[in-house]
Amino acid sequence: MKEKCRSVEVQMCRCEEWGTGNSTGNIWHGNPAMTYISKVPSVHIPQDHLGTTTMRSQSLWRSFGLLQRQSLSSRKIITYRAIQTASSRPVPNFAFAFDIDGVLLRASKPIPGAADSLALLKEQGIPFLLLTNGGGKHETERVAEISEKLGIPLDATDIVQSHSPFAELVKGSDELSALEHKCVLVAGGDGDSCRRVAEQYGFKNVVTPGDILMANPAVWPFSKNFGDYYKTFARPLPSPIDPNDPSKTLKIDAVFVFNDPRDWALDTQVIMDLLLSSQGRMGTLSEKNGRIDLPNHGYQQDGQPHLYFSNPDLWWAAAYPLPRLGQGGFREALEGVWAATTGGPSKGIELKKTVIGKPYQPTYEFAERQLLRNRLRTFGSSAERTPLERVYMVGDNPESDIRGANSYRSEIGSSWHSILVRTGVYSGGEPAWIPQTIADNVYKGVQWALKSSKWPAA
């Protein structure tokens, strides 16, 4: 086993305050499994944001003051699922988290053993969660599609997508940090599907790069051939792009990459414009850029919108025989353009950003608290008498699924055990991050986990 797989490297990075350009603390970008000392329990995402009740990812929000100090045990669950466990059946002290692409589905088609695995867990009353770096659709829509393909009843509490935590930024901790009524740019996804997701989360003023292009085609003249595509969903801008009058020109307060961008060139140009702007106003250029007397040589020091990525995956398993570039590829490309423009790390200049998704600690915290809430709704007080001690993470990507599970440090003391399957990104050889076991498929992985937990039905 490689040395890096035997220990968790905790690194601290600079961060930006949610929705502002002010450096305020620490955040995870480029470093998995970052932990904090304070332990603040979770708060619900408002029900109308996700269409269901989910939970906050703790450490992700902690440094931004977005959490209330409330005890998890003091939070009362008003309603429980209409599922009652027979007294003869024990409450499991373990649960599962499954990646989707390459584990349950490949090219939207079920992988053999996937449906049987979930059916078995449902029959045995063993909690599980779908934990994916995918997205681009609302949780209710995505889980309905998966349910239909697998023939297994699922609901929105059974899934955490890469961008699910973004819903928590709608209200923020106060009126100043809330993004609900501020103008945000949402990139990625088919058409304006991600805009619609953001609006369902509660964002009231959402702009896409396509909106900007259709309002001013000169922004990126090489996308004119895609005009017919953008016409199908582009909306009028809330403000014009008027470089001659910065007080009136379009102002963007945050940039979210919700899903894999379809037009890398346009999205790169628009995001770069905003990162170099003054106060996030399109068509402006900050006078602070390049000033060596300022932090980061003046870059991102002039109220530019903060940049958020939801998925660090460089590769993902698709219909093509070889893995395809994902959102992580777009981020690397953007960082390359940023470095070429500003001088980059060689000049001591960084691109300040926030990256969530597997393998980062906040995403696993978010998922674990979702599992805890689901257990409490399902088993009632029995869930408290039988605490969650182990979670089996079943994934196909050593760099995200396995690395994240191996590195995760739970606030409740549970251990995450990684299971690597051969049906997706990983196909053989020694993986970069060593799992507890390697299985040919998800069903064999589940069987191994049940035996490891000495589950009665195993």
> How do the domains of the chain map onto residue ranges?
26-83+94-161+358-452, 165-355
- pLDDT-derived band at 457 (thresholds 50, 70, 90) equals low
- Asked if pLDDT for residue 4 goes beyond 70, the answer is no
Contact 442, 111 (CB under 8 A): yes
First to last CA, the chain: 29
**Token couple for 213:** 């292009």
Long-range contacts of 316-325 (CB under 8 A, 24+ apart): 316/101, 316/102, 316/133, 316/134, 316/397, 316/425, 317/101, 317/102, 317/106, 317/396, 317/424, 317/425, 318/101, 318/106, 318/107, 319/106, 319/107, 323/425
SS3 at position 171:
coil
pTM of the model: 0.79
- Asked if pLDDT for residue 42 goes beyond 80, the answer is no
- pLDDT-derived band at 56 (thresholds 50, 70, 90) equals very low
Please, where are the H alpha helices in 252-326? 264-275
> In which element (H, E) is residue 116 found?
helix 114-124
- Asked if pLDDT for residue 204 goes beyond 70, the answer is yes
Beta-carbon-side half-sphere exposure of residue 265 (alpha carbons within 13 Å)? 9
Residue 407 DSSP class: H
Q: What's the CATH fold of domain 26-83+94-161+358-452?
A: Rossmann fold (3.40.50)
Same fold, 26-83+94-161+358-452 and 165-355: yes
Question: Which of 52-66, 109-123, 177-191 bottoms out in mean pLDDT, i.e. has the lowest?
Answer: 52-66
The rounded distance, in Å, linking the Cα atoms of 301 and 21 is 6
In terms of Cβ atoms closer than 10 Å to its own Cβ (0-12, 13-18, 19+), residue 240 is middle
CATH architecture assigned to 165-355: 3-Layer(aba) Sandwich (3.40)
